[in-house]
């Protein structure tokens, strides 16, 4: 990775962390693939496991599962049903919601921490905390927007919104990775 200005490194880290609120696994998969198969991106030493084969396989599997579930569930709907009234399908949706809600900010923290070299080493947790905050805010926006628009344009609205979100994730991650160049 070429030497970048500290603020550019921070912005790149936040550009990688933000889309983790939309899809926590796609940014991890993209960064893991870049770290594993190219010399273009190298994560910070503490997060060197991002380039390991096992992490790439895990991120790929989680991405595939999330892709199927995100197209069929509106975020938060399954959690709003009391546990005693949930069917099997709603339990799957509830676990998907919890995964998105908890792993999105965790992935944002990991990505910001792996990329940002803006803060001195004594402030080790500042970049991951900023990444988690940004991913959590994006997730909150996603959940609110999907609830407002669900069903507005027919039965496939949620699926279309999920596809648009995935496209936004890809473009935002590419922008973050290109900033590191």
Give a yes or no: residue 1 inside a domain. Answer: no
40 within some domain: yes
Is residue 31 included in any domain, yes or no?
Answer: yes
Number of CB atoms found within 10 A of residue 180's CB: 20
Directed axis angle between helix 53-72 and helix 157-179, to 10°? 150
Q: Let me know: does 78 contact 94? Beta carbons within 8 Å.
A: yes
Averaged pLDDT for residues 41-59? 91
pLDDT above 70 as % of the chain: 97
Alpha-carbon gap, residue 24 to 104, rounded angstroms = 5
Q: By residue range, what is the domain housing residue 89?
A: 6-179
% of the chain at pLDDT higher than 90:
45
How many domains is the chain partitioned into structurally?
1
Q: Cβ(19)–Cβ(100) under 8 Å?
A: no
Look at 60-64, 71-75, 78-82 and tell me which has the smallest mean pLDDT: 71-75
Q: Is the pLDDT higher at 181 or at 24?
A: 24
Indicate the pTM of the whole model.
Answer: 0.89
Q: CB atoms < 10 A from the CB of 140, how many?
A: 14
């Amino acid at each position: 990775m070429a030497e970048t200005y500290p603020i550019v490194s921070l912005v790149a880290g936040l550009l990688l962390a933000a889309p983790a609120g939309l899809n926590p696994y796609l940014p991890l998969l993209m960064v893991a693939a870049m770290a594993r198969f190219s010399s273009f991106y190298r994560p910070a030493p503490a997060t060197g496991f991002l380039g390991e084969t096992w992490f790439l396989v895990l991120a790929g599997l989680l991405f595939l599962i999330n892709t199927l579930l995100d197209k069929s569930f509106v975020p938060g709907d399954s959690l709003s049903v009391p546990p005693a009234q949930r069917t099997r399908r709603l339990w799957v949706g509830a676990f998907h919601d919890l995964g998105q809600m908890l792993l999105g900010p965790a992935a944002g923290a990991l990505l910001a921490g792996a990329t940002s070299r803006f803060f001195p080493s004594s402030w080790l947790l500042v970049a991951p905390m900023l990444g988690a905050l940004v991913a959590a805010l994006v997730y909150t926006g996603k959940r609110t927007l999907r609830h407002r628009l669900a069903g507005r344009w027919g039965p496939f609205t949620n699926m279309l919104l999920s596809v648009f979100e995935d496209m936004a994730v890809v473009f935002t991650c590419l922008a973050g990775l290109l900033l590191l160049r």
